[in-house]
């Protein structure tokens, strides 16, 4: 696939860049802060002991609120992100969620995004309803709160403003069932930050570069295993998570039960890496690494980064959260989040700077709700 550039989206790119590069406005400027308090004593960040993870120390699961769209009844939350700033209709710390199913619970026909305050008892407030975001499987936000959506069924990658207006669908690129999405603010030779998107039909990873003259697209990784499942059974590269500190892109290799890392992803060119069975090939193969493979991963789809650099991965086969240390390649912890029917765990987002302040939000599709795991 050739490298794409679009110049007709210069204005849209400028608007997105302006939001992405704008300093975060304190929540108090636009109303009360939704951030939960940091409970670490004396201001000291408590880290887990060597060889022990974070999630085994977190004991409480609390319901934040329903994710069912209040107007049309869309259900089955998939994408989940934490707003980094206060902008438009969104306050810093808000939870942004998209529904994958419609009100009849038909897989892949949801068309809504909700916003919830991250406090127990919150009610969903619709941000947008639009057929062009049908089947939102994942979303990510830049530092200006603009959600970028992996719209699986619509086969588009829409960008929505923090006020709920649809900027563009990026329909000038040949997407192949968008499935995962994450944001990187890191400047690279290709742009001033980027979004990374995965595709369920061909197992590719696309980098969408944020350039001053428009967006450019590079298919930087190909060959991830996919099962070509219908909505509700898809296993493909997912759970895209970016580590800003170490400049690493993590991808959950769902169909083979692996966690994969790509170092300095902003430098990988078009066609730089091919996933080849258990290894990698291509000119940039050295930038790819299998972090962990095998049990206890079981049809994992979602992931999030913790303060200590560990990655938590959500299994759909048994609703367990698995903590993996990229530093050691070991499993640091496990936690059952829902003891009921499998397939509940979609969408994870984490915050916190210590064990005491860690909050792991997750979508529970059995309950059509967002919940939080905490100390």
DSSP string, 142-160: -TT--EEEEETTTTB--EE
Q: DSSP readout, 304-371?
A: EE-TTS-EEEEETTT-EEEEEETTTTEEEEEEE---SSSS-EEEEEEE-SSTTT-EEEEEETTTTEEE
For residues 124 and 109, what is the distance between their CA atoms, to the nearest angstrom? 19
pLDDT of 212 reads 85
pLDDT for the residue numbered 28:
28
**Predicted pLDDT of residue 15:** 57
> What pLDDT does residue 213 have?
85
Domains contained in the chain, CATH given = 60-374 (2.120.10.30)
pLDDT at residue 33 in the model: 33
Which pLDDT does position 260 carry in this prediction?
Answer: 98
CA atoms of 247 and 212, how far apart (whole Å)? 22
Q: How many beta carbons lie within 10 A of that of residue 244, not counting itself?
A: 11
Residue by residue, pLDDT tens for the chain (375 residues) are 334 444 345 555 655 666 665 543 333 223 323 333 333 333 344 566 555 799 999 999 999 999 999 999 999 999 999 999 999 999 999 999 999 999 999 999 999 999 999 999 999 999 999 999 999 999 999 999 999 999 999 999 999 999 999 999 999 999 999 999 999 999 999 999 999 999 999 999 999 999 988 999 999 999 999 999 999 999 999 999 999 999 999 999 999 999 999 999 999 999 999 999 999 999 999 999 999 999 999 999 999 999 999 999 999 999 999 999 999 999 999 999 999 999 999 999 999 999 999 999 999 999 999 999 999
* Tokens (6 digits) for 335: 């936690």
Q: Which of 262, 240, 265 is nearest to 349 (CA)?
A: 240
Helix-, strand-, coil-residue percentages of the chain, each rounded to 5: 10, 45, 45
Residues in the chain: 375
Tell me the pairing of strands 369-374 and 95-101. unpaired
The Cα 278–Cα 200 span in angstroms is: 19
Count each helix (H run) and each strand (E run) in the chain, helices first: 1, 27
The span from the CA of 245 to the CA of 319, in Å, is 29
- What pLDDT sits at residue 233? 95
What number of other Cβ atoms are within 10 A of residue 73's Cβ?
Answer: 16
């Amino acid at each position: 696939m050739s490298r794409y550039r679009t110049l007709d989206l210069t204005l849209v790119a400028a608007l997105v860049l302006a939001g992405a590069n704008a300093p975060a406005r304190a929540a108090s400027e636009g109303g009360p802060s939704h951030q939960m308090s940091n409970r670490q004593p004396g201001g000291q960040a408590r880290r887990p002991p060597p060889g022990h993870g974070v999630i085994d120390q977190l004991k409480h699961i609390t319901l934040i609120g329903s994710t069912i769209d209040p107007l049309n009844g869309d259900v089955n939350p998939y994408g989940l992100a934490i707003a980094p700033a206060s902008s438009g209709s969104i306050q810093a710390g808000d939870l942004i969620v998209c529904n994958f199913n419609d009100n009849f619970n038909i897989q892949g026909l949801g068309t809504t995004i909700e916003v919830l305050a991250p406090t127990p008892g919150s009610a969903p407030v619709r941000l947008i309803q639009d057929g062009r975001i049908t089947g939102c499987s994942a979303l990510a936000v830049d530092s200006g709160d603009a959600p970028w959506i992996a719209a699986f069924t619509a086969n588009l990658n829409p960008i929505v403003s923090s006020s709920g207006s649809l900027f563009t669908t990026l329909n000038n690129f040949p997407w192949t069932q968008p499935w995962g999405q994450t944001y990187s603010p890191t400047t690279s030779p290709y742009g001033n930050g980027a979004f990374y998107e995965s595709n369920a039909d061909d197992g590719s990873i696309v980098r969408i570069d944020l350039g001053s003259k428009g967006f450019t697209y590079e298919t930087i990784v190909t060959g991830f295993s996919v099962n070509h499942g219908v909505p509700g059974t898809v296993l493909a590269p997912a759970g895209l998570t970016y580590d800003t500190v170490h400049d690493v892109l993590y991808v959950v290799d769902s169909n083979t039960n692996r966690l994969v890392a790509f170092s300095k992803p902003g430098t990988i060119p078009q066609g730089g890496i091919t996933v080849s069975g258990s290894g990698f090939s291509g000119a940039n193969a050295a930038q790819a690494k299998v972090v962990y493979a095998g049990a206890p991963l079981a049809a994992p789809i979602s992931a999030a980064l913790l303060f200590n650099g560990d990655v938590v991965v959500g299994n759909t086969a048994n609703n367990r959260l698995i903590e993996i240390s990229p530093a050691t390649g070991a499993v640091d912890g496990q936690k059952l989040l829902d003891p009921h029917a499998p397939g509940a765990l979609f969408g994870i987002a984490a915050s916190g700077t210590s064990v005491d302040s860690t909050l792991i939000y997750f979508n529970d599709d059995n309950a059509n709700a967002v919940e939080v795991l905490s100390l």
